[in-house]
Amino acid sequence: MNSTPASLHPNDDARRRLEGRRAELRALLANLAGAAVRSSDEPAEVSDFKDLAGQEAQEAHSDATAAQAMPELADIGAALRRIQEGHYGLCADCGDEIAPARLAAVPAATLCASCQERREQGQRCAAGRPAR
């Protein structure tokens, strides 16, 4: 007997994973923003250049983390829209299905492995459109 409910949509797992990752990224960004506000509210008590360098390194790390999170959030939002519109799992270049293993590894993937490789090499996709 199958333990999966009949009403479970094939993309429900992807949707849950994407929504979970989106929540993680939003929490991370909220924490970074809260830390930035707290540090700007605190009086500057730098005792030496090592303290200043440490603070600057922490700020640079926070900025880099936020810079990585924002595009990932956009990709997740786009993937959730594709699920809602019924286009999730289809390659944006050639229209073929993206391999389930690829979607499991990269749930927000928009390209099949072949088109992704072609795009990385700057070649045309199978459908004849130039790689973007």
Helix (H) or strand (E) holding 102: helix 100-105
Q: Report the alpha-carbon distance of residue 39 to residue 42 in Å, rounded.
A: 5
Q: Report the alpha-carbon distance of residue 73 to residue 69 in Å, rounded.
A: 6
Q: 97 φ, ψ to 5°?
A: -70, 140
pLDDT digits (tens, 9 = 90+) for 94-132: 999 999 999 999 999 999 999 999 999 887 655 555 544
- Structure token digits, residue 31: 């924490």
Residue type present at position 117: E
In total, the chain counts a number of residues equal to 132
Specify the pLDDT at position 7.
Answer: 47
Specify the pLDDT at position 73.
Answer: 96
Specify the pLDDT at position 1.
Answer: 42
pLDDT digits (tens, 9 = 90+) for 23-74: 999 999 898 887 766 665 555 565 677 777 777 787 788 788 888 999 999 9
